[in-house]
Amino acid sequence: MTRVLVIVRHAKAESYGATDHERALTDRGLTEAGRAGAWLAARGTTPQQAIVSDAVRTEQTWSAMAAEAGWTLKPCLDSTLYEADADTALDLVRALDDGVTTALVVGHNPTMAYLAQVLDAGGSPQLATTGFPTAAVAVFEYDGPWADLAEGTAQLVDVHVEHR
């Protein structure tokens, strides 16, 4: 069964907040996130499960994406994703129920960029040339159970980058 995994870096956030965890999106970030959601909706991608870091900027990224895409899905807010490394983020995806065929993860760099790079079976130059700026979206296809997802086992099929 082909599964779809969407990896998203949060949109542009304020430089400062009461704490790093509480940094909110800028107006530009809200626009970026909305455009990313519209782009995913236009390509027919609708997540059945969303794993979102519990930081303010990632929650706001999800909310703006979902609003623009017309998704009503309630995300799973995960505190471990806030400071996760790529292995930890991958473990969260591996724990998904196999009934989920399309999943989306909204997190932070450098973790999201590294996760996208290590999953890509084709070593796509697309990720290397665009980088993974704010509100970047990488869409992967993967054949197999989530528990077996590993480095180099997914195929990058699309990328959306708002700003470089």
Residues 75-122 pLDDT 10s = 999 999 999 999 999 999 999 999 999 999 999 999 999 999 889 877
Bridge partners of 114, per DSSP, are none
Q: How confident is the model over 112-163, as pLDDT tens digits?
A: 999 998 898 776 666 655 678 999 999 999 999 999 999 999 999 999 998 6
Bridge partners of 156, per DSSP, are 140
What residue segments make up the domains of the chain, in order of their start?
A: 2-150
Helix ranges restricted to H, the chain: 27-42, 56-69, 86-94, 111-119, 125-130
50 φ/ψ angles, rounded to the nearest 5 degrees:
-130, 125
CB 109 within 8 A of CB 81: no
For residue 116, count other CB atoms closer than 10 A to its CB.
Answer: 26
Third-level CATH fold of 2-150: Rossmann fold (3.40.50)
